[in-house]
Amino acid sequence: MPTLDLLKTEQGPRIAFLEKPDVNAIAETLVAFANTEGGTIVFGLREGGEVAPKQIDSKVLDKALRDADTACNPPVVIGNWEESETEKGTVYTLRVPRSIELHAMSDGRVLIRSGSKNRPLGGQEILKLASAKNTGDFESEHVASATMDDFSNKIITEYLAKRAERTKRPYNGKVTDLMKEIGALDNQGRATVSGILLFSEYPQQWLPQSSVVFAKFVGKTPRGENGLAGYTRREELTGPLPRLIENAWNLIWSEMAVGAVVKGLEREDTTEYPQFAVREAIVNAICHRDYRLKGRRIEIRMYSDRLEVISPGGLPGFITVENIVDEHFSRNPRVVNGLFQWGYIEELGLGIDRMMEVMQQAGHKPPYFDARPYSFAVSLYNEREKPKAPEWARNTNHRQARALQYIRDHGSITNREYRSLCQGVSAETLRLDLADMVEQGILLKVGSKKGTYYILK
């Protein structure tokens, strides 16, 4: 048990005193140290450096550290605490290393260590810190024994063609130079993680965690009868990321219910889930998953009432469920850029907005997001909400309903415009229709004689 002369030490940029193991204070200090230069937390000392009269229970400290870990996004990598002796009693110390990632609290706050305090950052400060953090480090690491010879010429050719469509100009330089420029090769010509993921025929040889598992379940839970697995189909998808996206989509499409509605004289197919929403959920999982996590793969689970896409790794940086629509931050920017050039991402930063929009247009509930420290799941529900008739529609006839829709579209309606909407109906009937809606308090009559028009009250 080491002895520390902590009574002569003051709190500062690299050291913090916590009198008791308060979960929120621990989490804030972990995030602040990890986002700056690292530091040491001393448990059992008051702010002024005096040993707290009440000794800390080591079991309580262990639990508080575990709880604090779940409040950090992503979790901060720390070692074990050490029990240390001071002149006045026993304290506990915990070393927090500087992190290459941007860490935030579960509520989205980003903190840094400033002097002896943990200071929250504003919007521009967060972006500045994010740009200074090399959060894409893992995707740029070289893969042992892998070189450009492990890339597929067919896949590279496909990428170049798609890239030329996106940029409106073909690439005429050396392919090796381009591979280095986009981060698929490092400066020594070694294949990187992003290069293997995008251009190798079988990235799972080096990164087995990069595959996708699909399962179709009978009901709303993964459990079947008599304790058996409840799935009717299970597939493991392998290959480079572009192939994973296409194969996952094709698999879901083959299992998706397709209905039909008739509009006018034409039959229109309606899918169980909007195509864009499904593809966006797949693309987001593949782009933003944490490829460092070796024990887990992306899972796609198809239940009777919903489709779940589960991605290993929590939300990156300062992104939370609350700000996911407005803020954008990528754990794997090279992978994102590669798939953008390939055409799998329509416009950077607008996918979640569009996903929510198409779900609403199809009459579905909004996507449900479940963010946890080591996973992120998107659930798309297939139940369509029945459109609710407006209150006024219950007390109007079909002609009046047409008039009201016209007013909603144009702002007002005149007697002449109403007659043109309902040709073949007597002018007196239409006048009584409008008068009835005025009497019900639905419309407001404005003007008189030939200048009369009606608006919604």
State how far the Cα of 207 lies from the Cα of 297, in Å rounded to an integer.
10
**Which parts of the chain register pLDDT below 70?**
1-8, 88, 131-136, 224-229, 258-269, 317, 347-349, 373, 385-394
Query: What local confidence, expressed as pLDDT, does residue 3 receive?
Result: 43
SS3 105: strand
Q: Catalogue the long-range contacts made by 19-22 (C-beta closer than 8 Å, 24 or more residues apart).
A: 19/44, 19/45, 19/46, 19/47, 19/52, 20/52, 20/54, 20/56, 21/56, 21/60, 21/61, 21/64, 21/65, 22/64
Which pLDDT score is estimated for 449?
77
pLDDT score for 203: 97
The predicted-structure confidence for 169-188, as pLDDT tens digits, reads as follows 999 999 999 999 999 999 99
> What local confidence, expressed as pLDDT, does residue 225 receive?
60
Scored b (16 or more CB within 10 A) or e, 153-175 reads eebbeebeebbeeeeeeeeeeeb
Residue holding tokens 């304290």? 91
Write down the pLDDT at residue 67: 92
User: For residue 330, what are its two tokens?
Assistant: 């990528």
Query: How far is Cα 24 from Cα 35, in angstroms, rounded to an integer?
Result: 17
- The domains of the chain, with CATH numbers, are 6-132 (3.30.950.30), 137-205 (no CATH), 209-381 (3.30.565.60), 391-456 (1.10.10.10)
Alpha helix positions (H), 218-291: 241-255, 275-288
pLDDT in tens, 228-244: 667 889 999 999 999 99
Burial, 104: exposed, middle or buried (Cβ in 10 Å; 0-12, 13-18, 19+)?
Answer: buried
